[in-house]
Structure 1
Amino acid sequence: MNGSRVQRPLDCSLRELHAVSCVAAEANFGRAARRLGIAQATLSGQVRKVEEALGARLFERRGRRFLVTDEGRALLPQIDGLLAAAGALADESRRLASAELRPLRVGVIPTLGPYLVPHLLAHAGGAASAAARRKGPAELPFEVSEHRTAELLELLAVGAIDAAVLAPSGREPGLVLEPLFTEPFRLLARRGSAILGVKRLVPNCLDAHEMVLLEEGHCMRDHALAICHAGSGDEPKLAAASIETLKYLVAAGAGYSLLPALACSIPTELGTVLELRAFDGQAPSRHVALAARTGYPRLGEVGRLAAWIREAVRARAPIVAE
């Protein structure tokens, strides 16, 4: 431990420092008291408090004469600088709490991004047009990036993004989850495939060994294997890098697969080759949520964004449910 002296905090308030600055500006205690709207005795007490905290006399009063001491001339610019810094701090705090805030940075998993974000952009465009017509504020802005679940969780943890749209596993500590919607899965198969011939399609009909799934690292792969009740040693016939690649592999006869409802559009050239089939009874599904760090200071905005996404999905993608 070094022998340097520990500095004690200045034992006076910003209000008292402002009173000192006002006295210096007016060069008169009476005028300063009227400007501040306080009694002159109260003002004198505030100035005395600052002088005691500084250990220096700032002003001299001799009858009608008013003088700034040598110590006052040295310290008053620093007092004014401190007050200016405090004002800037308050301004910045107000700015951060206002609509001038930067847009929320929202990450989305790749099996949702291409299929959900267009609905959100269309909804935002419609809302912006309506807002322009009524000269009101536009909808809450946000920026979107796409990452796999593990990367999203890491980006959230280090503050590189503010929120993430994902399909939580229930093993995400330290996160607040805002439910968005439940997305059912459908069977995707090449026309004429044996799986399409079953009388009643239920999850027990599925065999992971006959399926084309996404590569490891995609949460949708884990969901599909769980739906099949597959064990750790069960591997699909083939793994695809994306949902769109998966569609072409199924069309080529590599196996059948599962598609989340939002991704069930079929490329035009595959329309006569592929067939989608809904499950009988309660369809297997995934729960989608907007996640943010526990204690994140803008959780209120995250909650409003979640409500806005739910509204957009209700309006533009009714195939999924809350």
Structure 2
Amino acid sequence: MRFRKLHYFVTVAEELHFGRAAQRLHISQPPLSQQIKSLEEDLDAILFDRTSQRVTLTKAGEALLPQAKSLLQMWQNTQDQVKAVAKGEEGNLSIGFIWATGTPHFSKSIGEFKKKYSKATLNLESMSTVDALQALSLDKIDLAFVFLNPSVDVSLFKQSHYEHQDNLLALPEHHTLARKSRVSLSDLKEESFVMFARASHPSLYDQTMNSLHAANVQPNIVQIAKVTQTTRTLVAAGVGIAIVPESTKYDQREGLVYRPIEGDLPKLEIYMVWKAERETPLMMRFMEHMLRQIKETTN
């Protein structure tokens, strides 16, 4: 490779002595001289003036030296980058995640990954399950954290379980049910509900409504909230109550309390989902990191 010839040239140029340059390169002097001669033939230019007393750069050699160093550094950088990408230490990864994933341990795990692999770029975007799966299908993102259950069709994707969350009841702090340590589904009769949009998580919405109906609760839905922040704001304002994932409890805003719910509600299972053909070393390293971190957190 010509990069090797350039490396030999730079070494001789720095030493201005073929013997010392050969020692640095761990080769004998004759092959070194042959490589320099071959480079001169490639360039059709004499690079060194050689006498029995000394070796000096010609004008052509002086012109080549900074360019050769730049090319060698560029080649080294390229090799380092390629190796880092192959090891999953560098590259770009686009990630969609549902709002329920936004826990302190999720954020901490992301931060630790970015700190450890500073050359990796993570593009994170909050999405609903429906939007995330569609984005995956259209190759707009590489990986998604979504709610999954048997009724959600993910046959086009690979998947790995990330975490389980329980349901909680979000209440205004002065609500009568806030006096209880635990609330049963049957306690929710005649209550006004703030619900998430069915279009965002249709399977979860339907299962939640079926669970309420099975407990003889006909929820009076007074508000549909498209984002969780709105749900919490409305509940804290006394507009209604809401069934939320336990990750919501990390938002300890004024006027809002959470209580465990007793009853048969849908399981909240969060999965990592991706296309097999879009797997990269960076994606695999990231998923391994996230699974390791969640395991350490829950143990």
Scaled by the length of structure 1, the TM-score of the pair is 0.56
Indicate conservation of the 8 Å contact 2:18/2:32, yes or no.
Answer: yes
Q: Which residue of structure 2 lines up, in the alignment, with residue 148 of structure 1?
A: 128
Say if 2:58 is the partner of 1:75: no
The structural deviation recorded for 1:163 is: 5.3
The structural deviation recorded for 1:102 is: 11
Alignment of 1:1-322 (within 5 A): 12-61=1-50, 63=52, 66-89=55-78, 108-113=97-102, 117-118=103-104, 120=106, 139-140=112-113, 146-149=126-129, 152=132, 154=135, 157-158=139-140, 164-168=144-148, 169-171=152-154, 173=156, 177-185=159-167, 196=186, 213-219=195-201, 221-226=202-207, 237-241=221-225, 242=228, 243-244=231-232, 245=234, 250-251=240-241, 258-263=243-248, 276-279=261-264, 284-291=266-273, 294-299=278-283, 300-312=285-297, 314-315=298-299
For the structure 1 residues 50 and 229, does the alpha-carbon distance in structure 2 shift closer, same or farther, using more than 3 Å as the test?
farther
Gap runs ≥5 in structure 1? 1-11, 128-137, 198-209, 252-256, 316-322
Q: Which residue of structure 2 lines up, in the alignment, with residue 3 of structure 1?
A: none
* Structure 1 residues 15-51: Cα deviation after superposition (integer angstroms, max 9, x where no partner): 2211111122222222211222210122123223323
**Larger relative contact order, structure 1 or 2 (CA cutoff 8 Å, min sep 6):** 2
For the structure 1 residues 111 and 267, does the alpha-carbon distance in structure 2 shift closer, same or farther, using more than 3 Å as the test?
same
Q: Secondary structure at the match of 1:308?
A: helix
Q: Secondary structure at the match of 2:195?
A: strand
Distance 2:64 2:39 in 1: 11
Indicate conservation of the 8 Å contact 2:170/2:256, yes or no.
Answer: no
Give the aligned residue type for 1:277. E
Indicate conservation of the 8 Å contact 1:188/1:277, yes or no.
Answer: no
Distance 1:166 1:304 in 2: 18
For the structure 1 residues 176 and 298, does the alpha-carbon distance in structure 2 shift closer, same or farther, using more than 3 Å as the test?
farther
Q: Which residue of structure 2 lines up, in the alignment, with residue 8 of structure 1?
A: none
Distance 1:26 1:188 in 2: 75
Q: Which residue of structure 2 lines up, in the alignment, with residue 206 of structure 1?
A: none
Q: Secondary structure at the match of 2:69?
A: helix
Distance 1:261 1:81 in 2: 55
Q: Secondary structure at the match of 1:181?
A: strand
The structural deviation recorded for 1:181 is: 2.0
Distance 2:170 2:207 in 1: 17
For the structure 1 residues 37 and 306, does the alpha-carbon distance in structure 2 shift closer, same or farther, using more than 3 Å as the test?
same
Identity, % of aligned pairs?
24
For the structure 1 residues 184 and 84, does the alpha-carbon distance in structure 2 shift closer, same or farther, using more than 3 Å as the test?
closer
Distance 2:267 2:126 in 1: 21
Distance 1:35 1:275 in 2: 71
For the structure 1 residues 304 and 43, does the alpha-carbon distance in structure 2 shift closer, same or farther, using more than 3 Å as the test?
same
The structure with the greater share of residues assigned to strand is 2
Indicate conservation of the 8 Å contact 1:188/1:275, yes or no.
Answer: no
The structural deviation recorded for 1:167 is: 1.6
Q: Which residue of structure 1 lines up, in the alignment, with residue 216 of structure 2?
A: none
Q: Secondary structure at the match of 2:99?
A: coil
Distance 2:18 2:114 in 1: 51
For the structure 1 residues 35 and 157, does the alpha-carbon distance in structure 2 shift closer, same or farther, using more than 3 Å as the test?
same
Distance 2:106 2:245 in 1: 17
Give the aligned residue type for 1:214. F
The structural deviation recorded for 1:92 is: 6.2
